[in-house]
Amino acid sequence: MRLSGARVFLLWLLAMLVGAAIVWQSRFSADMSFFLPARPTAEQQVLVDQLKEGAVARLLMIAIAGGDAEQRAALSRDLRRRLVAGPDFLSIQNGEAGSQDADRDFLLRHRYLLSPAISPERFTVDGLRAAIGDSIDRLASPVGMMLKNLLPRDPTGELVALLGTLGGGNEPASRAGVWASRDGERAMLLVQTAVLGSDTDGQQAAIERIRREFAASSGGDPAFTLQLSGPGLFAVNSRAIIVSEVTRLSLISACAIIAVLLFVYRSPRLLGLGLLPVVSGALAGIVAVSLAFGTVFGITVGFGAALIGESVDYAIYYFVQSGRSGVDAWRQRFWPTVRLGVLTSVVGFGVLLFSGFPGLAQLGLYALTGVVTAALVTRFVLPKLSADEYPMRDLRPLGVRLQAVIERLHVLRWPVILLALAAAALLISERGALWNPSLSALSPVSAADSDVDMALRADLGAPDSRYLVLVNGIDQESTLQAAEAVGRHLDGLVAAGQIAGYDSPARFLPSQSSQSARQAYLPEADEVRQRLAEALQDSPLAASKLEPFLADLAVARQQAPLSRADLDGTHLGLAVDALLLHGRQGWSALLPLRPTASDIEAGQLRQALAGSGALFIDMKTEFNQLYNDYLQEAMLLSLSGLGAVLVLLGATLRSPRRLAAVMLPLLLAVIIVIAGLYLAGERLHLLHLIGMLLIVAVGSNYALFFDRAEENHGLDPETLASMLIATVTTSIGFGTLALSEVPILHAVGVTVGPGAFLALLLAAIFVPRGTVR
- Is residue 492 a contact residue for other proteins (CB under 8 A)? no
* DSSP 8-state symbol, 188: E
Nearer to other proteins, 171 or 394 (CB): 171
Distance separating alpha carbons of residues 279 and 430, to the nearest angstrom: 42
Q: Taking contact as CB under 8 A, which single stretch among the options 163-171, 185-193, 412-420, 716-724 is the one that binds other proteins?
A: 163-171
- If 0-12 CB within 10 Å is exposed, 13-18 middle and 19+ buried, where does residue 149 land? exposed
Does residue 194 sit in helix, strand or coil?
coil
- Is residue 186 a contact residue for other proteins (CB under 8 A)? no
In degrees, rounded to 5, the angle at the alpha carbon of residue 296 between the alpha carbons of residues 12 and 353 is 85
Nearer to other proteins, 18 or 542 (CB): 542
Nearer to other proteins, 95 or 592 (CB): 95
- Is residue 70 a contact residue for other proteins (CB under 8 A)? no
Does residue 583 sit in helix, strand or coil?
strand
CB of 551 to other proteins, least distance (A): 17
Residues 526-565 contacting other proteins, CB under 8 A? 540-542, 545
Distance separating alpha carbons of residues 716 and 555, to the nearest angstrom: 99
Choosing from 101, 171, 534, 547, the residue that interacts with other proteins (CB under 8 A) is 171
Nearer to other proteins, 84 or 143 (CB): 143
Q: Taking contact as CB under 8 A, which single stretch among the options 162-170, 199-207, 239-247, 363-371 is the one that binds other proteins?
A: 162-170
In degrees, rounded to 5, the angle at the alpha carbon of residue 370 between the alpha carbons of residues 364 and 375 is 125
CB of 568 to other proteins, least distance (A): 24
- Is residue 769 a contact residue for other proteins (CB under 8 A)? no
Distance separating alpha carbons of residues 682 and 685, to the nearest angstrom: 9
Nearer to other proteins, 152 or 595 (CB): 152
Q: Taking contact as CB under 8 A, which single stretch among the options 173-181, 335-343, 625-633, 675-683 is the one that binds other proteins?
A: 173-181
- If 0-12 CB within 10 Å is exposed, 13-18 middle and 19+ buried, where does residue 386 land? buried
Nearer to other proteins, 152 or 650 (CB): 152
- Is residue 598 a contact residue for other proteins (CB under 8 A)? no
- Single out the residue of 265, 426, 355 nearest to residue 635, CA to CA: 355
* DSSP 8-state symbol, 497: T
- Is residue 179 a contact residue for other proteins (CB under 8 A)? yes
Is 452 within 8 Å of 229 (Cβ atoms)? yes
- Is residue 348 a contact residue for other proteins (CB under 8 A)? no
CB of 369 to other proteins, least distance (A): 58
- Is residue 172 a contact residue for other proteins (CB under 8 A)? yes
Sequence-distant (6+) residues with CB within 8 A of 294 are 27
- Is residue 13 a contact residue for other proteins (CB under 8 A)? no
CB of 540 to other proteins, least distance (A): 4
Find the helix packing angle between 268-293 and 231-265, rounded to 10°: 150
Q: Beta 295-297 vs 89-93: how paired, if at all?
A: unpaired
Binding mask 115-144 for other proteins (x = CB under 8 A): -------------------x-xxxxxxxx-
CB of 173 to other proteins, least distance (A): 6
Q: Indicate the residue type of 180.
A: A
- Is residue 502 a contact residue for other proteins (CB under 8 A)? no
Nearer to other proteins, 94 or 321 (CB): 94
- Is residue 597 a contact residue for other proteins (CB under 8 A)? no
CB of 175 to other proteins, least distance (A): 7
Nearer to other proteins, 177 or 586 (CB): 177
Q: Indicate the residue type of 325.
A: S
Nearer to other proteins, 185 or 741 (CB): 185
- Is residue 157 a contact residue for other proteins (CB under 8 A)? no
Nearer to other proteins, 125 or 139 (CB): 139
Is 752 within 8 Å of 691 (Cβ atoms)? yes
Q: Taking contact as CB under 8 A, which single stretch among the options 22-30, 175-183, 200-208, 258-266 is the one that binds other proteins?
A: 175-183
Does residue 39 sit in helix, strand or coil?
coil
Choosing from 127, 152, 463, 595, the residue that interacts with other proteins (CB under 8 A) is 152
Find the helix packing angle between 304-325 and 717-737, rounded to 10°: 170
Is 144 within 8 Å of 133 (Cβ atoms)? no
Choosing from 17, 146, 454, 474, the residue that interacts with other proteins (CB under 8 A) is 146
- Is residue 650 a contact residue for other proteins (CB under 8 A)? no
CB of 101 to other proteins, least distance (A): 11
CA 133 to the chain's CA centroid: 54
- Is residue 177 a contact residue for other proteins (CB under 8 A)? yes
Distance separating alpha carbons of residues 756 and 701, to the nearest angstrom: 10
Is 72 within 8 Å of 65 (Cβ atoms)? yes
Distance separating alpha carbons of residues 460 and 61, to the nearest angstrom: 8
Q: Taking contact as CB under 8 A, which single stretch among the options 171-179, 423-431, 579-587, 707-715 is the one that binds other proteins?
A: 171-179
Is 129 within 8 Å of 535 (Cβ atoms)? yes
Q: Of all helices (H) and strands (E), which one includes residue 175?
A: strand 173-175
Q: How many residues bind other proteins (CB under 8 A)?
A: 34
- Is residue 496 a contact residue for other proteins (CB under 8 A)? no
For CA atoms 282, 287, 290, 291, the dihedral sign is negative
Find the helix packing angle between 686-708 and 656-679, rounded to 10°: 140
Distance separating alpha carbons of residues 674 and 690, to the nearest angstrom: 12
CB of 534 to other proteins, least distance (A): 17
What are the CA-CA distances from residue 758 to residues 55, 254, 259, 429, 486 (Å)?
Answer: 49, 22, 22, 23, 60
Is 612 within 8 Å of 485 (Cβ atoms)? yes
- Is residue 147 a contact residue for other proteins (CB under 8 A)? no
Distance separating alpha carbons of residues 443 and 436, to the nearest angstrom: 12
In degrees, rounded to 5, the angle at the alpha carbon of residue 748 between the alpha carbons of residues 343 and 311 is 40
CB of 133 to other proteins, least distance (A): 9
Choosing from 11, 173, 353, 426, the residue that interacts with other proteins (CB under 8 A) is 173
Q: Taking contact as CB under 8 A, which single stretch among the options 164-172, 574-582, 607-615, 763-771 is the one that binds other proteins?
A: 164-172
CB of 164 to other proteins, least distance (A): 5
Q: Taking contact as CB under 8 A, which single stretch among the options 116-124, 177-185, 194-202, 253-261 is the one that binds other proteins?
A: 177-185
* DSSP 8-state symbol, 294: S
Residues 86-115 contacting other proteins, CB under 8 A? 95, 97, 100
Choosing from 1, 27, 85, 170, the residue that interacts with other proteins (CB under 8 A) is 170
Does residue 663 sit in helix, strand or coil?
helix
Choosing from 18, 145, 418, 636, the residue that interacts with other proteins (CB under 8 A) is 145
- Is residue 65 a contact residue for other proteins (CB under 8 A)? no
CB of 195 to other proteins, least distance (A): 29
CB of 538 to other proteins, least distance (A): 10
What are the CA-CA distances from residue 255 to residues 152, 216, 286, 308, 527 (Å)?
Answer: 81, 43, 21, 11, 89
Choosing from 176, 376, 455, 664, the residue that interacts with other proteins (CB under 8 A) is 176
CB of 569 to other proteins, least distance (A): 20
Binding site for other proteins (CB under 8 A): 95, 97, 100, 134, 136-143, 145-146, 148, 151-152, 164, 169-179, 184, 540-542, 545
